[in-house]
A and B are shown apart, each in its own frame.
Chain A
Amino acid sequence: MDITLNNRPESFDYEKLTISEILKLKNYSFKMMVVRINGRLIKKPEYNLADVVDGDDVQILHLISGG
């Protein structure tokens, strides 16, 4: 499938993936983040459930401390 991940085109050799699987494949080890699929907010308990499929726009915003 071809998706957009954080505004960049990205290809995976899978028909669909969950957010947890994408995080693993990308080696993202963020502790705190905000995830959206096509603008829809995906909360942490749904990372294992929410499917990403061809054409989806995925935003994974890594949150860090400081202010």
Chain B
Amino acid sequence: MNFSQIKEKLKDKTVGVAGCGGLGSNCAVALARVGVGKLIIADFDVIDEGNLNRQYFFHHQIGEKKSLCLQQNIHLINPATRVKAHDLMLDSNNIYELFKDCDVIVEAFDKAEMKQMIIEAVLDKLPQTPLVIGLGVAGWGDNNSIGCRQLDHLYICGDEKREVTDQLPPLAPRVGIVANMQANTVLEILLKD
């Protein structure tokens, strides 16, 4: 498949991205670059200076809403990708409404309890929709510990071990690897048929 054929296939696809932080912002940008037609993104948070060590935002955007800034940043990269941005806190009730028409959903939260919430909500309410999660992104180095595996419609990217702590912060390289691994998994799903 050449890139024109890939773009042609992707232009009618919709991907949901739950969270616009380290995983979500980088994953969404990768998907927009290759030509995914529509992205539905959601986050309640605002950009903090500490986020710039890994998240796809700029210094002048500090204090602004993540979902709306990510929409703007994607538009600057590929205006052909339509972005529906939701400035809200996702929960087990609104996930179905927001993401029910998505071909694939990307889990891009930071907190373990939010990861649990979206996995259970999608398995419950959208059991046929592939869900690609990021799990284990903290620290630096040790590339070979990062992998991807599939459990039915659930795809797990990351090392599944390293939790973020004060001494093991999330940083651009490793978070970016997992975010792009999630985007790569989304492409594999979208391009397979």
Contact = CB atoms under 8 A, between A and B. Distances in A.
Contacts of A32: 112-113, 115-116
A67 B124 contact: no
A15 B156 CA distance: 32
A64 B136 contact: yes
A45 to B, nearest CB: 12
Interface string A51-67: 00000000101111111
A64 B112 contact: yes
B23 interface: yes
B136 to A, nearest CB: 6
A42 B109 CA distance: 22
Interface string B64-104: 00000000000000000000000000000000000000000
A33 interface: yes
Interface in A11-67: 31-34, 36, 39, 41, 43, 59, 61-67
Chain A contact residues: over half helix, strand or loop, or mixed?
loop
Nearest to B122: A41
B152 interface: yes
Nearest to A62: B160
A66 B124 contact: no
Given A66-B137, A67-B19, A41 B120 contact: yes
A18 B136 CA distance: 28
B120 A66 contact: no
Given A32-B116, A34-B116, A39-B152, A65 B123 contact: no
A66 B164 contact: yes
Contacts of B19: 67
B161 A67 contact: no
Interface of A: 31-34, 36, 39, 41, 43, 59, 61-67
